[in-house]
Structure 1
Amino acid sequence: MTTDDDAGPTLTTGDGDTELDKRLGEELDAFNAAATGAADQGAFSVKVSDEAGLVGGLSAWTWGGLCGIELLWVRDDSRRGGWGSRILRAAEAEARRRGCDRVAVSSFTFQAPGFCERHGYAETGRTLGIPGGHADVHLFKSLTGA
Structure 2
Amino acid sequence: MKLEIINESHSEVFDALVDGVRSFNREHLGPETSKPLATVARNNEGEIIGGVSGRTIYNNFLIEVVWVHSSARGTGLGKQLMEMALEQAKQRQCQCAQVDTLDFQAPVFYQKLGFEIAGEISGYGDGPARFFLAKVL
Coarse TM-score class (shorter-chain normalised): 0.7 to 0.9
User: Which one scores higher on RCO, CA 8 angstroms, separation ≥ 6?
Assistant: 2
Name the count of aligned residue pairs.
136
Tell me, yes or no, if the aligned pair for 1:57 and 1:73 is still in contact at 8 Å: yes
Structure 1 residues 53 and 34: CA distance shift in structure 2, 3 A: same
Give the stretch that moved more between structures: 42-51 or 130-139. 130-139
TM-score computed with the length of structure 1 as normaliser = 0.83
- Aligned 1:92-103 pairs, distance under 5 A: 92-103=86-97
Structure 1 residues 79 and 130: CA distance shift in structure 2, 3 A: farther
Task: Determine the C-alpha separation between the residues in 1 that align with 2:16 and 2:27.
Answer: 17
Tell me the residue number matched to 1:136: 130
Aligned amino acid, residue 116 of structure 1: Y
Give the stretch that moved more between structures: 30-39 or 42-51. 30-39
**Cα RMSD for the two superposed structures:** 1.9
Q: Alpha-carbon deviation of 1:58? A: 1.4
TM-score computed with the length of structure 2 as normaliser = 0.87
Task: Determine the C-alpha separation between the residues in 2 that align with 1:42 and 1:27.
Answer: 19
Task: Determine the C-alpha separation between the residues in 2 that align with 1:58 and 1:18.
Answer: 24
Q: Alpha-carbon deviation of 1:128? A: 2.4
Q: Which runs of 5+ in 1 are unaligned?
A: 1-7
Tell me the residue number matched to 1:72: 66
Structure 2 counterpart of 1:61, from 55, 73, 80: 55
Task: Determine the C-alpha separation between the residues in 2 that align with 1:98 and 1:131.
Answer: 41
In terms of Rg, which structure is larger?
Answer: 1
Task: Determine the C-alpha separation between the residues in 1 that align with 2:22 and 2:33.
Answer: 6
Q: Alpha-carbon deviation of 1:55? A: 0.6
Task: Determine the C-alpha separation between the residues in 2 that align with 1:22 and 1:97.
Answer: 29
Structure 1 counterpart of 2:18, from 21, 25, 39: 25
